[in-house]
Amino acid sequence: MTTKELAGITVDVDAEGFLTDHKIWNLDLAAAIAQEEGIDPLTDRHVEVLNFMRKEFEENGTAPSIRKMNKLNVVPTKELYALFPGGPAKKAAKIAGLGKPQGCI
């Protein structure tokens, strides 16, 4: 485990930079992680996706898949790729303070 400073606080992250404790997450941390991932600024639409992911994680113990978000009309797949380019499930989960989704390489 490694520590790094994000949004003025020191946080624990894993080897790939994912927060190890999803409970410390807040929008300031999300914005800092997003900036590191090349997404700046976070829009209301980004936050809507992140909040949905966090709600699903709290209820089911895992981050939702791209397919599930599309099926539940949270966000169309094409828009998800535009919001979180270069691996939307992994990038969105990271910004949402969740662990790396299962099946992501």
Q: Does residue 94 contact residue 17 with C-beta atoms inside 8 Å? A: yes
Q: CA-to-CA distance for 85 and 33, rounded, in angstroms?
A: 14
Q: What is the extent of the structural domain holding 59?
A: 2-95
Chain segment 9-60, per-residue pLDDT in tens: 999 999 999 999 999 999 999 999 999 999 999 999 999 999 999 999 999 9
- pLDDT of 105 above 70: no
Count of the separate structural domains present in the chain: 1
CB atoms within 10 A of CB 73: 7
Per-residue pLDDT reduced to its tens digit, 48-91: 999 999 999 999 998 888 888 888 888 899 999 999 999 899 99
Q: Is 65 a catalytic residue?
A: no
Indicate which residue of 7, 13, 66, 104 is catalytic.
104
Q: For residue 9, is it within any domain?
A: yes
| pTM of the predicted protein model | 0.93
Q: Which two tokens stand for residue 66?
A: 């791209």
Q: Is residue 25 part of a domain?
A: yes
Amino acid at 95: I
pLDDT of residue 57: 95
* Residue 43 belongs to some domain of the structure: yes
Task: Give the amino acid at 66.
Answer: I
